[in-house]
C-alpha cells in the first residue's frame, strides 16, 4: 500500500486503475473505514483532486491517514546471524550481523531500555527531518529487543580534515539540529560516520543517539528549553557551512504535527517497554515547537567553542 523512500518520503501508491474504471466517483462512493489501507489511499487520492501526491512523514495529514499511511516504521527482524565484534575503541558492545534476507547490520548488544527508546525515537525523528542516518531495525529475542543499525560500508569517522570532501554538508547540519531537538549530547567523532563514495567525496551518516535526553522522561523534563553541552561534540564542525541547513531542519521540526510526534514516541516506548510515553510526548511536542530557538542556541554554543 505504501512505499517508503530513501529519505523520509512516503509515496501514497494509489490504485491508478480505480478511477479509470469509473468506480471512484467521489460523489457517489460510500466512505469506507480507515482501517483499510487501499480505501484510505483512495480517499486521499480524491482529496488531492485526483492527483497522486508525495507526502513527507512530517506533512500535516489527519491522524486517521497518518496511522494508515505511516504504520509502525521500525522493522522487526527475527532471524539474525551474529558475526565478529566491531573492532573500534569502545565499540565492544557492537557486533556485525546479517539477517535472513542478507542485509548487514551492526547489532548493539548491551543496551538499557532508555537507550533503546532514544535510538528508536531518534531514528524516527531522523527520518522525518531528513537526517542522513543508517537503516534501523529491532531484533526481538525473548524479553530483549536488540537494536540493529544498518552497516555503512566503507566507513571512516569524523575528523575536521574531512570537510573538503563532504558531499552532503547539509546532512551534518541536519544532524546537529536533531541533536539540539532530541537532546543528544554524545555526537563525538565516532558517531559521525564518514562514508567515502569516490576519491575526494564522502558523505556523513548519523549513528548512535542512544544517550539522548529523549530516552529518559526525567532528562527531558529537567532540561526543558535547554540544549546539550557541546564538550563532547566532535571537533571542527564547520558551523558556517552547516548553519543554514540546520535552521532549515529546525523549521521542518516546527511543522511536525502533534500526531506525528505522538506516533513516534508511542512506537519507541512500545519497543522499550517504557511507561512514560505521555511525559516524553508532551516534552517533545514543546521541543519541536521551539526547535528554531533550540537549534539557534546550539549553533551558537558550537560557534563559541575554542
Partner 1 sequence: MRFRTIYFLPDPISGARVPIALLLEDGRNVSAIRYPHIPGAMCLGGVAEEAAVEMILADIEQRPDFGRLPPSAGPQAFAGEPREVPAVADARRWVDRAVFGLAPDVTSSERVEQHAPHPHRATMGFQFLEKFRVAKFVRKTFQPGKDEGGFLAEANALGTISQYVAGRTELLLMEPILPRRESWKADATSVARSFGAYKTVLRGHPAGRKARLVAYVVPGGSQERRTEIEGLLKPFADQIVDTSSEAARGRFFGHIRVTAISGGYQDPMIQ
Interface with partner 1, residue 263, by CB under 8 A? no
Interface with partner 1, residue 84, by CB under 8 A? yes
Alpha carbon distance 45, 50 (integer Å): 5
Alpha carbon distance 296, 75 (integer Å): 33
User: Quick one: how many helices (H) and strands (E) in the chain?
Assistant: 10, 12
Q: Which is nearer to partner 1, 56 or 203 (CB)?
A: 203
Q: Which is nearer to partner 1, 112 or 235 (CB)?
A: 235
294, 179 contact by CB (below 8 A): no
Interface with partner 1, residue 229, by CB under 8 A? no
Alpha carbon distance 123, 4 (integer Å): 15
| Bridge-based pairing state of the strands 136-141 and 75-76 | parallel
Member of 93, 160, 222, 225 binding partner 1 (CB under 8 A) = 160
How many residues of this chain bind partner 1 (CB under 8 A)?
44
Segment interacting with partner 1, rule: CB under 8 A, options 7-15, 71-79, 83-91, 205-213? 83-91
**What's 214's DSSP letter?**
G
Member of 169, 259, 270, 279 binding partner 1 (CB under 8 A) = 169
Interacting residues with partner 1 between 100 and 129 (CB under 8 A): 104
Count the Cβ atoms, other than its own, within 10 Å of residue 71.
12
Sheet of 54-56, strands arranged across: 2-4, 9-12, 54-56
Interface with partner 1, residue 139, by CB under 8 A? no
Site string for partner 1, 179-198 (x = CB under 8 A): ----------xx--xxxxxx
Q: Interface with partner 1 by CB under 8 A: which residues? A: 83-84, 86-89, 91, 96, 98, 104, 151, 153-166, 169, 189-190, 193-202, 236, 238-241, 303
Amino acid at each position: 500500500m505504501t512505499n517508503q523512500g530513501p529519505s523520509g518520503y512516503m509515496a501514497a501508491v494509489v490504485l491508478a486503475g480505480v478511477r479509470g474504471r469509473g468506480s471512484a466517483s467521489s460523489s457517489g462512493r460510500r466512505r469506507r473505514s480507515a482501517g483499510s489501507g487501499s480505501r484510505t489511499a483512495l480517499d486521499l487520492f480524491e482529496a488531492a483532486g485526483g492527483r497522486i501526491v508525495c507526502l513527507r512523514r512530517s506533512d500535516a495529514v489527519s491522524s486517521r491517514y497518518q496511522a494508515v499511511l505511516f504504520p509502525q516504521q521500525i522493522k522487526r527482524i527475527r532471524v539474525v546471524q551474529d558475526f565478529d565484534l566491531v573492532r573500534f575503541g569502545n565499540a565492544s558492545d557492537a557486533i556485525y550481523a546479517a539477517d535472513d534476507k542478507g542485509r548487514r547490520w551492526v547489532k548493539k548488544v548491551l543496551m538499557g531500555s532508555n537507550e533503546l527508546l532514544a535510538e528508536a525515537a531518534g531514528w524516527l525523528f531522523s527520518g522525518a527531518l531528513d537526517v542522513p542516518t543508517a537503516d534501523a531495525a529491532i531484533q526481538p529475542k525473548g524479553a530483549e529487543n536488540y537494536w540493529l543499525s544498518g552497516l555503512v560500508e566503507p566507513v571512516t569517522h569524523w575528523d575536521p580534515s574531512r570537510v573538503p570532501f563532504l558531499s552532503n554538508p547539509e546532512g551534518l547540519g541536519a544532524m546537529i539540529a536533531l541533536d539540539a531537538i532530541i537532546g543528544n549530547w554524545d555526537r563525538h567523532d565516532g558517531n559521525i560516520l564518514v562514508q567515502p563514495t569516490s576519491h575526494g567525496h564522502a558523505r556523513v551518516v548519523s549513528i548512535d543517539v542512544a544517550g539522548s535526553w529523549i530516552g529518559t522522561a526525567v532528562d527531558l523534563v529537567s532540561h526543558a528549553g535547554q540544549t546539550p553541552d557541546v564538550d563532547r561534540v566532535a571537533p571542527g564542525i564547520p558551523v558556517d557551512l552547516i548553519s543554514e541547513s540546520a535552521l532549515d531542519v529546525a523549521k521542518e521540526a516546527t511543522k511536525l504535527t502533534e500526531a506525528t510526534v505522538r506516533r513516534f514516541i508511542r512506537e519507541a516506548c512500545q519497543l522499550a517497554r517504557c511507561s512514560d510515553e505521555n511525559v516524553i510526548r508532551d516534552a517533545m511536542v514543546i521541543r519541536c515547537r521551539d526547535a528554531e530557538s533550540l537549534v539557534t542556541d546550539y549553533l551558537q554554543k558550537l560557534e563559541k567553542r575554542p
